[in-house]
Amino acid sequence: MSKPFPLATLTLRYKGTFDWEALYKLMKGWFKEREYDFLEKRYKHKMQAGGFAEIEVNWECWREETEYMKNWIHVYFHIWDYKEMEAIKDGKKVKLAKARMKIEITPSLEADYENRWEDSAFKRKLRDFYHRFMYRVEIESLWEDKLWYNSNKLMQLAKRFLGVESESEAFDDYW
């Protein structure tokens, strides 16, 4: 059975005020624009003492690039000390949240996701040989790089929305 192998995890830690609903919709819309299938595995909202809340959200998003390769992007939100408040922004009352937040984006690449090469031990060994020696450069230089840069674009979108100063694009026009 084929398993996705993860690439480097991108992490963002943020403390301040932000519009949680707008961030949620923005990031979910990013996947929809790129035609990813989307599954929200968990949305946990737990009230704490003092009127604060803790929120945990897990997303699994995937897209079939070819008949052999599938991209996965796992997104994990963890929000602590969440408290809603009203603020005036551009002359309008808006509902914002004050909290600490951690966003983790983990891209993964899955080869042979339909398990066509799992029938026999010979096919599995042939597939492994193909991955190690024949297809390795294409996997590393094309599929892994493209997926990582697209995941980085998603992280930069979140940083731009939150107004984080370290926001920058890695090879902005590369993919």
Looking at residue 88, its pLDDT comes to 82
CA pair distance 43, 5, nearest whole angstrom: 25
Reported pTM: 0.85
Q: Which residue blocks in 10-169 are alpha helix, DSSP H?
A: 20-33, 121-129, 136-138, 145-162
- 35: burial class by Cβ within 10 Å (0-12, 13-18, 19+)? exposed
Cβ-contact 33, 8 below 8 angstroms: no
**Cα distance between residue 171 and residue 149, in whole Å:** 8
pLDDT (tens place) for every residue of the chain, 175 residues total:
466 777 889 999 999 999 999 999 999 999 999 999 999 999 999 998 888 999 999 999 999 988 878 999 999 999 999 999 988 878 888 889 999 999 999 999 988 776 666 778 887 787 778 777 766 667 676 778 889 999 999 999 999 999 988 766 665 555 4
| Per-domain residue ranges of the chain | 5-162
C-alpha triplet 83, 84, 87: angle, nearest 5°: 130
Token pair of 154 as six digits: 């998603």
For residue 71, what pLDDT is reported?
A: 92
Q: Are 105 and 10 in contact (CB under 8 A)?
A: yes
